[in-house]
Structure 1
Amino acid sequence: MLGKKPVTAQKRGETRALCLGLGMVACSVIMYFFIGITIVPLYNKSVWTNKGICELKNASIKEQQQCLFNDGSSDENKFQYPCLDIMVNLTPVGQVVKLYHQEETVFRNPKCSYIPPTLKNYTAVQENVEKVRQNFTEAQVFYCYYDPSGQEATVLLYRQYLPEFLLFTFVWPSLMLIGGVLIIVLVKISQYFSILLAPQYRTGI
């Protein structure tokens, strides 16, 4: 009876460890799938891979031609905000093009160069957009990202979906997958040695 209790406890521990390992592997697979259907397509759409120099040509706020931003599916979730329009001269190609803040700006509202972080207070939104316009006016010359193929005739101030960003998103699921596989391997090794040593314990008894 005394010999059976440690063996039973060991089996329970191995079963729990094995479930933990399998759970970690399953979670990592789900995370890989989620990244593959959300972040990877956005990364593939980001064609602004080359870095160049942009010279400001015009930075204006279209007060009378405000843009609409829809954060959902219904018309009730629409907000109005001043539309900042920035045109720059892309020196590598010598062409005047429209500048956007980042990829998300192009996808959400291609009419405006900048989308305020919050749209609840219109006065604060106006001040934020005006401050951004002044920053561009003071800078005049700055780095930007453009499409080297020339198919996308716009440029970005910042790239949101860099290769480093994509690699970083795979860090946690990869660590979880490695940890889960390691736990499963250790449990299997423990079970293998238990089977090898079992006859010796029986002979000793």
Structure 2
Amino acid sequence: MLGKKLVTSQKRGETRALCLGLGMVACSVMMYFFIGITIMPSYTNSVWTKETTCRLLKANIKDKVQCLFNNGAGDENIFQYPCLEVLVDLNSSGEEVMLYHNEETQERNPKCSYIPRDLKNDKEVKMLIETAAENFRNHQTFPCYYDPEQRQKSVILIRLYPPKGLFFAFLWPSLMLTGGVLIIIMVKVSQYVSVLSAWQYKTNI
């Protein structure tokens, strides 16, 4: 009687462990899919891949400039908000190049180097713009990214998804997938050993 209870308990534990492993594998696959449709397109479409050094030439604040704003959904609206324009010298070439905060900044408004997320509060927007301009003036030379194939003449300050960030994005689903597969393998090995032990016991009888 005790032996049957132990076998039943063992089977329940194996079933739960197997479900856990399958659940981890399923979650990791969903995370891979999510990364594939959100992060990967932005990473592969970015042309600013080469890091270099930029030297500040100008950091102008255009107060209440009428700028064409694209919200990312294809609709364009005209807003009145302060606009920061930063021009830099790329690799000491002497050529003035427009600097953008990241890849999305140029898409939102090619006239502005930096655009705060929330444009509703004019005082807060102006304060953020002035702070960004002051940071540029305090750091005359800084790393930036440019297009090595020169499809884009502009440069960006930071990449949304650099290779290091992409590595960490894939790290967690990979660990979860590995853990789930290991759990499934361990359950299957345990079941195989149990069956083999039972077969040997019957043979010895």
TM-score bracket for this pair, using the shorter chain length: 0.7 to 0.9
Q: Which residue of 2 aligns with 1:34?
A: 34
Matched, 1:148 2:148: yes
Quote how far apart the aligned CAs of 1:109 are: 3.0
Question: Conserved in 2, the CA contact under 8 Å of 1:70 and 1:79?
Answer: no
1:127-156 CA distances to partner (integer Å, 9 max, x unpaired)?
110121122233333322111111111101
Q: Which residue of 2 aligns with 1:57?
A: 57
Q: Which residue of 2 aligns with 1:88?
A: 88
Structure 2 residue matching 1:10: 3-state secondary structure: helix
Quote how far apart the aligned CAs of 1:178 are: 0.3
Question: Conserved in 2, the CA contact under 8 Å of 1:67 and 1:82?
Answer: no
Question: Conserved in 1, the CA contact under 8 Å of 2:66 and 2:79?
Answer: no
Structure 2 residue matching 1:170: 3-state secondary structure: helix
Structure 1 CA distance for aligned equivalents of residues 113 and 82 of structure 2: 11
Structure-1-length-normalised TM-score = 0.87
Name which of structure 1's ranges 150-159 and 79-88 shifts more when overlaid on structure 2: 79-88
Long gaps (5+) in structure 1? none
Structure 1 CA distance for aligned equivalents of residues 79 and 172 of structure 2: 36
Structure 1 CA distance for aligned equivalents of residues 78 and 70 of structure 2: 5
Structure 1 residue matching 2:127: 3-state secondary structure: helix
Matched, 1:108 2:108: yes
Structure 2 CA distance for aligned equivalents of residues 93 and 166 of structure 1: 31
Opposite residue 169 of structure 1, the aligned amino acid is: A
Quote how far apart the aligned CAs of 1:87 are: 1.5
Long gaps (5+) in structure 2? none
| Aligned-residue CA RMSD (Å) | 2.5
Opposite residue 139 of structure 2, the aligned amino acid is: A
Quote how far apart the aligned CAs of 1:120 are: 4.3
* Amino-acid identity (%): 62
